[in-house]
Amino acid sequence: MNQIKELPTRERILHMMKTSGPLSAKEITSELQITEMAVRRHLGTMERDGLIESKMIRQTMGRPTSVFGLTELAEGLFPKNYHTLTLDLLGELEQESGEDTIKLLFEKRRDKLKQQYESSMEGIPFADKVKKLAQIQNDNGYMTECEQNDNGDFVLKEHNCPISQIANRYNHACDCELSLFKSLLNTEVERTECLAQDGKRCIYIISNPK
């Protein structure tokens, strides 16, 4: 409990909402022992940053009360060990069925993603296909940016990898991502840097067929 009290006010509020659920400004003020004005200032900033959201709840007596709860973005700030479970399961499967079975799983995932996304890229200019791919990756948490170089080719940068712990152990995940890009864009794609291989980011050079 003392460790929680030592956290900055913003983190304490997030922790309170995580453990207690949605709270009113009055409840937060009472717990933190600071002014309601200070609490509302923090709440306003956190709501603007997309970490919390407010809603009105009816009470048995009196006016409805506004309470604040965590958004999905804020939930992502708390530790989750999904990758540990996934790695354990993949490890067990590899022991039972061999490495080829793991490769087949990643390839099936690649084919499923291709089927999911390829319809949205049909009949649009190549540059728009690249932008669409960047948007898809960004929506999936890869923190993507895209630019066109002097040669007319596109450079796709991924600053985050949501499956980095898995890719570090199973490089086939990266191979399937590269294969997916080539298939969706129907052009040559080269990866020049990779997070799973000690890179600062993943960088893809996408050839413009012009």
The total of other beta-carbon atoms located within 10 Å of residue 205's CB is 15
Per-residue pLDDT of the chain (210 residues; tens, 9 = 90+): 344 455 689 999 998 998 888 999 999 999 999 999 999 999 999 999 999 999 998 877 778 889 999 998 888 777 666 778 889 999 999 999 999 999 999 999 999 999 999 999 999 999 999 999 999 999 888 889 999 999 999 999 998 888 888 999 999 999 999 999 999 999 999 999 998 888 889 999 999 997
Structure pTM? 0.65
Residue 134 CA to residue 112 CA, distance in Å, equals 18
Residue 28 CA to residue 38 CA, distance in Å, equals 11
The DSSP code sequence of the chain is -HHHHTS-HHHHHHHHHHHH-SEEHHHHHHHHTS-HHHHHHHHHHHHHTTSEEEEEE--SSSS-EEEEEE-HHHHTTS---HHHHHHHHHHHHHHHH-HHHHHHHHHHHHHHHHHHHGGGGTTS-HHHHHHHHHHHHHHTT--EEEEE-TTS-EEEEES--TTHHHHHH-THHHHHHHHHHHHHHTS-EEEEE-GGGT-SSEEEEE----
Residues near 172 by Cβ (< 8 Å), separated by ≥ 6?
102, 103, 106
- pLDDT attached to residue 58: 82
- pLDDT attached to residue 2: 41
Among 117, 114, 103, 121, CA closest to 175? 103
- pLDDT attached to residue 3: 43
